[in-house]
């Protein structure tokens, strides 16, 4: 099991998203991998279409500061009714693009699996 980097929910498999984390860019100049679950990947896709700006200190995925950020709505589990809560995350443009790539990779894999 692994925890989603956005909502923190544990899943057997996560969708890999390649981001440019500025704090480790000297060690990983080509980017590092984050894992997010399918629900959050879908939320990122919607955020990419809607592009709602959000005020936040840094990107919740790669940690970049002083970049334009966009709102991503994810639901996190809680221990009371209704057992989940909608929260807003802030994602930078480059991470939104990385999510789109991850979605496209998944779709390609699904097509492959059909043959």
Cα-to-chain-centroid distance, residue 115: 29
Span near Zn ion by CB under 5 A; candidates 24-32, 50-58, 84-92, 102-110: 84-92
Q: Any contact of residue 59 with Zn ion (CB under 5 A)?
A: yes
Coil vs helix vs strand at 17:
strand
Token duo for residue 14: 């996560």
Which residue among 14, 17, 40, 99 contacts Zn ion (CB under 5 A)? 40
Give whichever of 37 and 102 is closer to Zn ion, judged by the CB atom.
37
DSSP secondary-structure letter at 69?
A: E
Q: How far is the CB of 114 from Zn ion (least distance, A)?
A: 26
Using CB under 5 A as the binding rule, whether residue 69 contacts Zn ion is answered as no
Q: What is the largest CA-CA distance in the chain?
A: 45
Nearest-approach distance from CB 41 to Zn ion, in angstroms? 8
Q: How many residues bind Zn ion (CB under 5 A)?
A: 10
Report the distance separating Cα 115 and Cα 110, nearest Å: 9
| Beta strand 32-36 pairing with 15-19 | antiparallel
Residues lying near Zn ion in the complex (CB under 5 A): 4, 6-7, 37, 40, 59, 61-62, 92, 95
């Amino acid at each position: 099991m692994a925890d989603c980097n956005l909502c923190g929910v544990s899943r057997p498999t996560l969708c890999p998203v390649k981001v440019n984390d500025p704090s480790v860019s000297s060690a990983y100049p080509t980017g590092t991998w984050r894992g997010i679950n399918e629900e959050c990947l879908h939320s990122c896709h919607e955020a990419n279409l809607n592009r709602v700006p959000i005020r936040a200190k840094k990107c919740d995925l790669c940690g970049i500061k002083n970049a334009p950020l966009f709102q991503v709505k994810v639901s996190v589990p809680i221990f009371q009714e209704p057992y989940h809560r909608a929260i807003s995350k802030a994602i930078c443009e480059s991470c939104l693009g990385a999510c789109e790539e991850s979605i496209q990779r998944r779709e390609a894999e699904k097509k492959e699996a059909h043959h």
